[in-house]
Amino acid sequence: MHPQGPTVLDRADASEQIATIVRLPAFAYDKHLTVFASNSLARALAPDLSAGTNIARALFLSDRPHQLSARSWASACALVSDALRASLDAQGEDEAFISIVGELAALSMDFNLAWADTLSSAPGDQFELAAGPGGEITFTFRQAVAADASGDTVVTMSPADDVSAARLHALVAAIL
Q: Confirm whether 6 is domain-assigned.
A: no
Query: What is the pLDDT of the chain when averaged over all its residues?
Result: 84
Q: Which has more confidence, 161 or 74?
A: 161
Domain limits for position 29: 11-175
Q: In this predicted structure, what is the pLDDT of residue 125? A: 72
Per the model's pLDDT, the better-predicted residue between 124 and 94 turns out to be 94
The rounded distance, in Å, linking the Cα atoms of 30 and 143 is: 12
Provide the number of structural domains found in the chain: 1
Cα separation of 141 and 135, whole Å? 19
Strands, DSSP E only, in 42-101? Answer: none
Instruction: State the pLDDT confidence band at 127, using cuts at 50, 70 and 90.
Output: confident
| pLDDT tens track for 26-51 | 999 999 999 999 999 999 888 889 99
Mean pLDDT of 137-157: 86
Q: CATH no. for residue 149?
A: 3.30.450.180
Between CA 11 and CA 147 the distance in angstroms is: 10
Residue 38 covered by a domain: yes
For residue 28, give the 3-state DSSP assignment.
strand
Q: How confident is the model at residue 61 (pLDDT cuts 50, 70, 90)?
A: very high
In a domain, 80, yes or no: yes
pTM for the structure as a whole? 0.86
